[in-house]
Structure 1
Amino acid sequence: MTNLKIALIGNPNVGKTSLFNALTGMNQRVGNYPGITVERKVGNFSLNNQTQATIIDLPGVYSINPTSTDEEVALQVFFDQTNKDYPDVVVVVAEAENLKRNLLLFLQIRDLGFPTLLCINMADQMQKKGISIDIPALEKKLNTKIVLTSTRQQEGIDQLKSEILALVNAPTTSPFDIKTINPEYFSAIEKNFPTIPPFKVWMALTQNFFSTEIPLDKIEHFRQNHSIDVKKIQHKEVVKRYQFINEVLKKTYTLDTTKETDVRMKLDRIFTHKIFGYVQFIIILGVIFGAVFELAKFPMDFIEGSFEDLSNWVLDTFPKGKLTDLIANGVLMGLSGVLMFVPQISILFLLIAILEDSGYMSRMVFLMDKIMRPFGLNGKSVIPLVSGTACAIPAIMAARNIENPKERFITMLITPFTTCSARIPIYIIIISVIIPQTYIAGFIPLQALVMVGMYAVGFVVAMLAGKLLSKLLKYKQESYFIIEMPTYKVPIFKNVLLTVYEKVLSYITNAGKIILALSIILWFLGSHGGENYNNAEEIVTQSEAAQTMDKEELEFAIAKYESENSYIGKIGQAIQPIFAPLGYDWKTSIGILTSFAARETFVGTLSTLYNLGDDFEEQETQIIERMKNEKRPDGTPVFGLATGLSLLMFYAFAMQCTSTIAITKKELNSWKWTAYQMFGMTIFAYIMALLVYQLVK
C-alpha cells in the first residue's frame, strides 16, 4: 500500500483547519517542528484500498515570502527533500469571497513545481454573497483542477479525495510566466539551473530556502555574477502576479453586490466601535473568565478531592513504608497537580475557540492592537494577559496565536505577572491580617479595594515588563500586524471540540511529565530528613511539653517537628537569613519555599506550622487569628503592616508555580529562557518586597 504525502496550505481564516478535520476526523496528531515551537497538525485518511494519505496542515500564510520565523520554518518543507513532511502533492485552500488574494499564494506554490490543486472552501456561502464562478474556465486559465467544498455541509469532500489521487501524475506547468517579472534575470536562472523551477531558485537566492537539489556553491556563484535589487524584484513579482490574477478573474468571477446581505458591515460597526467596542469586549471577557473560574471550580475540586481520597485509600490499604508514601503523596498528588488544571484549560479554549470560529475574536484583536503596540505587544497579546487572571497555564498556551515571534515570546514571558486565581487564598489571608475591616464612603470595603489594587499592580507591571523586553530583545525581523476579518458564521461544533481536545492533550502529554517529576522531588524533600526527622515522634512524645497535650495536639506537634527537621524544613531555616530583610521568620520562609511548587501551598504550610489542619476552608478564621497574634522574640507582631505588604508584593511578582514553569518551557522550547523568567521574576519580587518592607516598617 502506497502512502501519499499531502501539504495543506492557505491564507488564515479560509477554513483550512475545518477541511483538515473533515478529511482526518480524530485520526490526527499535533507536533512541533524541530528546534522551534511551531505547531503542525498531521493526519491520516484513505484515498482508496491501495493508497493511504498523510496530510500536513501548515500554519496559515499570505504568501511564500515569510514575514515570521514560524512561517519560514513551515514553508521550509517545500524546499528540503530530506524533510519527513516533504509533500508529493499540495492542496491550496482558498475562499470565494477573497479569491483574488488567495490566488497569489496558489501561483507561488504552483511555481515551485509541485502537483497543485485549488480547493475553494465555504462554497455554501457563495450564493449569499452574490458570487458566481465559472469553474471550467477558471480551471483552464490556472491550468489546475478546482474543487468546491463546504465543510459545514460536508460537500465536496469525496470529490476532493478523488482529485488528490488523480493529482499525482498531473502536469506541473505553471500558468504564470515568471520571466515577465524580469526577462533577463530569470532567463539567466533558467540557463544556470535548467532542471529546477526558476521560482524555487529565486527563493534560494533571496530567502535562504535551500533545496537539496540546488548546490550552495552554485547559488553563491550566481549571486556574484548577477547582482539585482531584491526588494524591487519582490515588489514587481507581486504586481505582475496580481495583474495576471485580475485578468483571469475578470473573465471567470462575478460579484453581484445587490444579492449580498449587509449584516457583516452592521455587526462590524457594533463590535469595532471606538468606545462601545471596548465595553463589549470587557463584558465578554468578564463572562469568559468568570465562567472559567466558576464552572471549573466543581470539576477541579472533584479531581483534587478524588485524588486525595485515592491517596488516603492507598495509605490506609497498602503496607506502611516509603513506597506507599511515594505513591500516595508523590505520584498521585503529582497527577492531581497535572489534571486539576484540565477543566480550566478546557473551558477557556472552548470559549475562545467559539469566539475565533465565529469571527468575533479577529475584530477584538484589531481593536486592541492600538493599545498594546506601545508596550512591544500587539492586539493578540490581550487574550493571554487577561486569561492569566484565571490561570497562567492556558494563558501562555493561548499566546501561540501571535504570529510575530518577538511579540509571542514577550507575551509568554510577562503573562505570569497577571494575578492568577492561585494567588487569591494568599491575598485573602494577608489582607485580612493587615487591613482593617473598614469602609470608604460608608459602603466601599477597604479590603476589597486592596484586592483590586493587587490585580491592577500585576497588569501594570506586566505591560511595563513588555516595554522593557521590547527594548532589550533585538530581533532583525520587523513587526507586522496582519489580521484577517473573516465572515461571521456559526461555529462548527466538531472543530471547536477538536481544538479543545488538541490543547488539553498537548498540556497533559508535554507539561504534565515535568509537573509530575517536580512534584515527586518536592515530596522527597518534604518527607525525608536526618536523625531528628526519623525520630520525631519519639523526641516530641518524650518532651516535657508533650505531657500536657491531648492526642490531636500531640499529632500537630509531631507534624510541626517533622516539618522543621525535613530536608525542606532545614533548607527553609537555612535560607531564613536571606528572607529576614523582608520581615519573614523561618516559618514564613518555609512557606515561601514550599509555594514554589504552587502558590496555594503557602496557606497549607502555614496551617501545619501553626499547629492547624491544612483545610483552608475550615481553618481560615483560625489561621488569620493565629497570624495576627504571632509574636517575634522581641514581642512585635510577625505579620505587621510592613511584613504583610512585603508578602503581597512578593507573591504578586514571584514565579512560584511548577505548572507554569513546565508550560513555559514547553512553549518556549528553552530551559534558558524559562530560567531567566523564573529567576528574573523572583529577584524582582524580592527587591520589591524588600523596598516595601524597609520603607513601611
Structure 2
Amino acid sequence: MTGRNVHIALVGNPNSGKSSLFNALTGLNQKVGNFPGVTVDKKTGHASLEDNTTATVIDLPGTYSLYPRRADEWVAYQVMMRVDTEVKYDMVLLVMDASNLKRNLLFCSQIIDLKVPVVVALSMMDIARSKGIEVDVPGLETELGVPVIPVNPRKNKGISQLKKALVQTAQQQYQAPQRDFIGNKELAPAAVSGVQKLLPALSDYAAVHYLINHENFPLPTQTQDAIEQLEVDNKFNPTKSQAQEIVQRYSRIRQIMKQNVVEPDPLQKKLFTEKLDNLFLHRIWGYVILLATLFLLFQSIFWLATYPMDLIDATFSSLQGSLAGMLPQTWWSDLLLNGVLAGLGGIVVFVPQIMILFGLITILEDTGYMARISFLSDKLMRKVGLNGKSVMPMISGFACAVPAIMSARNIENKKERLLTILVTPFMSCSARLPVFTVLIALAVPNTYYLGFLSLQGLVMMGLYLLGIVMALIVSFVLKMVIKVKEKSFFILELPVYRSPRWKNVGITMVEKAKIFVWDAGRVIIVISLILWALSSYGPSKRMHGIDEKYAALQQQAKTNEEKAGLESEKSTEKLEHSYAGIIGRTIEPAIAPLGFDWKIGIALVTSFAAREVFVGTMATLYSVEETDDNVPLREKMASAVRPDGSKVYTLPTALSLMVFYVLAMQCMTTVAIVKRETKTWKWPLIQVGYMTALAYVMSFIVYRLFS
C-alpha cells in the first residue's frame, strides 16, 4: 500500500490515552461530525506516516469490551465487526494503558481474535513505572502475536516507531496471528461452523458475535433467519457463551501478566493521586476547592481577555471610521459599515473569551479534575432525580448545549436521561458569554474586595451558578411529574492526575474559535444584514415625512453643532419608524415591566435563532442610529438613553436582561436536537414554554428588587 492512503480505526478503553495519541498523529488536521444515523461524535484526522503513506485515522468511542451497552459503544462495535455501511478500516490501532494492563488486555484479545491487522500502542508507561509496574514489551508482543509499541503522545515519544509499524502492517509485513487467544470455536462448535458456511470470511470469534448480535447487523432476511435457526437447533445461549468467553480470556490474561508483568507489593505506600483525592474529594474541602476553581475559571475570562478584546474593539471602530471617511454616502457603503462590519466586529471581539473558556475547560479535563467534579456531584444529583453521569453533559453545556444533550445518551436510565436533556440548556453556554460580558462591563463596577475578589467576576460566577441552581430545582419538580420507575447505578473510573497537554489545549482553543467564528458568525452576519435592511427602511410615507421635516430644520440651523445634532436626531427618529422600530415598539409593552426598551426587544426576538446574535443586533441597531462610526459598541450602549433622558443600561435592567438570558430557551438548534433525542415534539415544546415563562418571571422579580 506504499504511496496510498490507509484507513486506521483507533480504539481503546476510556482514559487509556486514545485522545492524546489521536492529537499527536493528526495535529490540526481534524474534523468532527456525527456517525451516520446516530448522534455520536465522529472524529477523523489525517496523518503522514512513512514511505509516502498517508492515513485517515478514525477515532472510535472508548469501550471496555466487544459487548456494547451504550449508543457510543454500539458505534465502535459495529465498525469493528465491519458491519457499518459507511465507516471502513484497513487496520486497527489499539491503545492499551500499561498501568491498567489486565483490564485493557480483555478488549485487546477480543480485537485480535477478529483476525484483523492490529498494532498496539502501549501508553501510560511512565504512570505504570510510578506505580512500580514493569512490563516486558517483547514478551508481551510474542504472547499477543502483534506489534506492541510503547508511546508517550504527550512528549511525542515512540510516535515515529509507531508510524513505522503502521506502514509495515499496511504493507502486510505484519499479519493477524494464526492462533486464537482462546478456543473461540469451542464455545459453540456446531453453531460457529454453521455461521461460517453462511459467511465464509468470518473468524471463529466473529461468528460467535454474529450468533449473539446478528439482529443488529445489516444482513439479508434469509441470512438472518438461517442464523436464528442455527441458534435454535444448537440451543445456543448467548449469556452462557459470553460468560464462558470472559472467564477463559481472564485465565489466559493472568498467565500473560504472570510471565511478562512485574507488579508492586499491594502494601505499597499511597500514590500521589490517592493523596490528592483525599483533599479534592473531601466531604468539606472538596466542595470549597470546587467553588474556588469555578470562581477562578470565570474570573480568568475577564483577567486574560480584557486587552485583546479592547484591541479588537478599537481596531474595528477605527476601520469603520476610516472607511466612512473614504467611501461615498450610498446604500451599499451603509450596508458595508453598519451591516457587515458592525456584525463582524460583534463576533470577532469575543474570540479571546471563547478561546480562554475552552482552554481552561480542556485543562480541567486533561488534569483529571473534571471526573472528580462528577464524583462530588453525584449525591446532590440523586436528590433531584439525576445521577453523577448527568454532570458531564451539564458541564459540557457550559460550552454548547447541542453536544451536551447528545452526550446524555451515555445515561442508561430513561428518566434520568430525559431530565438531563430537559435541564441542560440552563447551563450558560459560550453563546451567552458575549451577552454577559457586554452587560457586566456596562452596569457592574470594576471594584475589588479584599484586594483580589472582583465584583464583575463574582457576578459572572453568580450567573453560572443561577443556571445550575435552577436546573436542579426544575429537575426536582420534574422528577415528581415524569413517572418512570427504573433504578440506576453510578460507576465512574477516576483517571490519574496528569499535567495538561499544552499542545492539546492549544489545538482545542484554535478549533473552538474557528467553530465560533464560522458557525455563529454565519448566523450573526445573516441576521445583521436582515436587521440592517429592517432598520434602514420603513413605510415610505413615514420615512419621506421625516426626511422633509429635517431638511427644513437643517436650513434653519446656523452652526455645525446644530446641524450635527439634527442629523443624530434624524437617524434616531428614522430608526424608530423603520420596520425594525415598528416590530420593537409592538412588543415593548410586554417587555417594559422587565426594564427592557424596544431595541432590547428586537434583540430578544433575533436571539431565538442563537443567543450570541444579541451583540450583533445591538451593533447593527446602534450603528444605524449613530452617525459617528468611530465609537465602540460598548460606549454607544453606555450612552443610550430613554425618551425621558434616563439611561437604558442601568444595573436593574442589565441584571434583569442577564437573568432572562440565563433562563430562556433561545436556541433553535437546541430545540431541534431535543426533538431528535426524545423523538417527539412534546418535550422541546414543553421545554421552550416553561423556560421562557421562568425567564420572564425571574427577570421581573430581579428588576423590581434592584429598582
Query: How does the TM-score come out when normalised to structure 1?
Result: 0.79
**Distance apart, 1:412 and its partner CA:** 4.3
Q: 1:496 aligns with which of 495, 505, 510?
A: 505
Instruction: Please tell me the residue identity of whatever aligns with 2:435.
Output: A
1:200-279 → structure 2 map (5 Å cutoff): 200-204=206-210, 206-207=212-213, 214-224=219-229, 225-226=231-232, 230-257=238-265, 262-279=271-288
- Which of 156, 174, 182 is residue 176 of structure 1 equivalent to? 182
- Within 2, Cα distance between the matches of 1:470 and 1:303? 46
Counterpart mapping for 1:304-343 below 5 A: 304-343=313-352
**In the alignment, which of 28, 40, 43 is matched to residue 26 of structure 1?**
28
Counterpart position of 1:568 = 580
> Displacement of 1:93 after TM fit?
0.3
The aligned runs of 1:438-453 (5 Å cut-off) are none
Whole-Å separation in 2 of the counterparts to 1:142 and 1:535: 84
Distance verdict in 2 for CA 1:149–1:566, change over 3 Å: same
CA shift at 1:56, angstroms? 1.6
How many angstroms does 1:182 deviate by? 4.8
Q: How far off its partner does 1:280 sit?
A: 0.9
Q: Which moved more, 1:365-374 or 1:400-409?
A: 400-409
Distance 1:278 1:553 in 2: 57
Q: Distance in 2 between matches of 1:619 and 1:279?
A: 40
1:38-77 deviation digits (Å, cap 9, x = unpaired): 3333233333325322222222222223332233234432
Give deviations 1:584-641, integer Å, cap 9, x for gaps: 77677456546666456898899899999987866888768977969xxxxxxx9999
Q: Structure 1 residues 380 and 291 mapped into 2: Cα distance closer, same or farther (>3 Å)? A: farther
Contact 1:540 1:557 in 2 (8 A): no
Matches within 5 A, 1:631-642: none
What's the counterpart of residue 53 of structure 1? 55
Q: Does residue 1:15 correspond to 2:17, yes or no?
A: yes
Given that 1:454 and 1:652 are in contact with CA atoms closer than 8 Å, whether structure 2 keeps it comes out as: yes
Amino acid across the alignment from 1:320: Q
Which ranges in structure 2 are unaligned for 5 or more consecutive residues?
A: 412-416, 446-454
Contact 1:381/1:399 (8 A) holds in 2: no
Q: What's the secondary structure of 1:171's corresponding residue?
A: coil
Distance 1:650 1:188 in 2: 64
Q: Flag the 1:459–1:124 CA change in 2: closer, same or farther, 3 A.
A: closer
Distance 1:575 1:152 in 2: 55
The match for 2:45 is 43
Q: Displacement, 1:694? A: 12
Quote how far apart the aligned CAs of 1:487 are.
2.5
8 Å CA contact retained: 1:138, 1:252: yes
Shift of residue 114 of structure 1?
1.3
Cα pair 2:187 2:244 within 8 Å, conserved: yes
Alignment of 1:604-615 (within 5 A): none
**Aligned-partner residue type, residue 223 of structure 2:** K
Query: Could you say what secondary structure the match of 2:10 adopts?
Result: strand
Note if contact 1:112-1:197 (Cα within 8 Å) is conserved in structure 2: yes
1:136 CA drift (Å): 3.3
1:458 to partner: Cα distance: 3.8
Q: 2:414: which partner in 1? A: none
Q: In the alignment, is the contact (CA less than 8 A) between 1:46 and 1:52 conserved in 2?
A: yes
What is the alpha-carbon distance in structure 1 between the residues aligned to residue 126 and residue 429 of structure 2?
A: 45
The CA deviation at 1:338 is 2.9
**Counterparts of 1:209 and 1:302, CA distance in 2:** 60
- Give the alignment of 1:253-402 within 5 angstroms: 253-257=261-265, 262-375=271-384, 377-379=386-388, 382=391, 393=399
Corresponding position of 1:195: 201
Indicate the residue corresponding to 2:141 in structure 1.
139
Return the offset for 1:234. Answer: 3.9
Q: What are the residue-to-residue correspondences of 1:413-492 with 2, within 5 Å?
A: 413-416=425-428, 422-423=435-436, 457-466=466-475, 481-492=490-501
Which residue matches 1:530?
539
Q: More deviation in 595-604 or 12-21?
A: 595-604
Superposed displacement of residue 2, structure 1: 1.9
1:415-456: per-residue Cα shift (whole Å, max 9, x none)? 249985624765898999xxxxxxxxxxxxx99999998766
Measured against aligned partners, the alpha-carbon deviations of 1:199-219 in whole angstroms (never above 9, x if no partner) come to 43444554468556x434312
Structure 1 unmatched runs, 5+: 433-445, 631-637
Q: Distance in 1 between matches of 2:512 and 2:639?
A: 40
Change (3 A) 1:430 1:299: closer
- % identical equivalent positions: 37
Within 1, Cα distance between the matches of 2:640 and 2:503?
A: 48
Whole-angstrom distance in 1 between the partners of 2:504 and 2:465: 36
Distance 1:481 1:252 in 2: 34
Judge which range, 342-351 or 50-59, deviates more.
50-59
Deviation by residue 1:219-276 (Cα, 9 ceiling, x = unmatched)? 2332255265544544444333323322322222220238877222211211111211
2:42–2:59: 8 Å Cα contact kept in structure 1? yes
1:208 and 1:573 mapped to 2: Cα distance? 62
Return the letter of the residue paired with 1:243: S
Distance 1:155 1:648 in 2: 48
Please give the per-residue CA displacement for 1:79-115, whole angstroms capped at 9, x wherever unaligned. 4467454111101101111011111211222233311
Contact 2:346/2:616 (CA < 8 Å) preserved in 1? no
Change (3 A) 1:110 1:309: same
Is 1:66 paired with 2:40?
Answer: no
- Distance in 1 (alpha carbons) for counterparts of 2:458 and 2:276: 36
Q: Which amino acid aligns with 2:663?
A: F
Give 2:129's aligned residue.
127
Q: CA deviation at 1:22?
A: 2.6
Kindly state the Cα deviation for residue 692 of structure 1 after the two structures are TM-superposed.
9.4
Is the alpha carbon distance of 1:595 and 1:358 closer, same or farther for their aligned partners in structure 2, counting shifts above 3 Å?
closer
Contact kept? 1:189, 1:198, Cα under 8 Å: no
CA displacement 1:107-139 (0-9 Å, x = unmatched): 222233311122211223443322122333323
Q: C-alpha distance in 2, partners of 1:473/1:521?
A: 42
Report if the CA contact (8 A) 1:103-1:245 is conserved.
Answer: yes
How many residues are paired up?
670
Q: Is contact 2:346-2:619 (8 Å) kept?
A: no
- Measured after TM superposition, the shift of residue 312 of structure 1 is 3.1
Match of 2:452 in 1: none
**Distance in 1 separating the partners of 2:545 and 2:256:** 86
Residues 75/97 of structure 1: CA separation in 2 closer, same or farther (3 Å cut):
same
User: How far is the alpha carbon of 1:675 from its aligned partner?
Assistant: 8.0
| 541-550 or 303-312: bigger deviation | 541-550
TM-score relative to the length of structure 2:
0.78
- Distance (whole Å) between structure 1 residues aligned to residue 279 and residue 5 of structure 2: 49
- Distance between the aligned counterparts of 2:706 and 2:399, measured in 1? 34
Do the aligned partners of residues 468 and 200 (structure 1) sit closer, same or farther apart at CA in structure 2, a change above 3 Å counting? farther
* 1:341-396 deviation digits (Å, cap 9, x = unpaired): 321221122222222222232223222232234445554655775797xxx55676
Gap change, CA 1:228 and 1:166, over 3 Å in 2: same
Residue 148 in structure 1 maps to residue 150 in structure 2: yes
Check 1:469–1:327 CA distance in 2 against 1; reply closer, same or farther (3 A cut).
Answer: farther
| Equivalent-residue separation in structure 2 for 1:490 and 1:643 (angstroms) | 43
Aligned residue in 1 for 2:449: none
Please give the root-mean-square deviation of Cα atoms over the aligned residues, in Å: 4.8
DSSP-derived class of the 1:93 partner: strand
Aligned partners of 2:192, 2:591: CA distance in 1, in Å?
A: 69
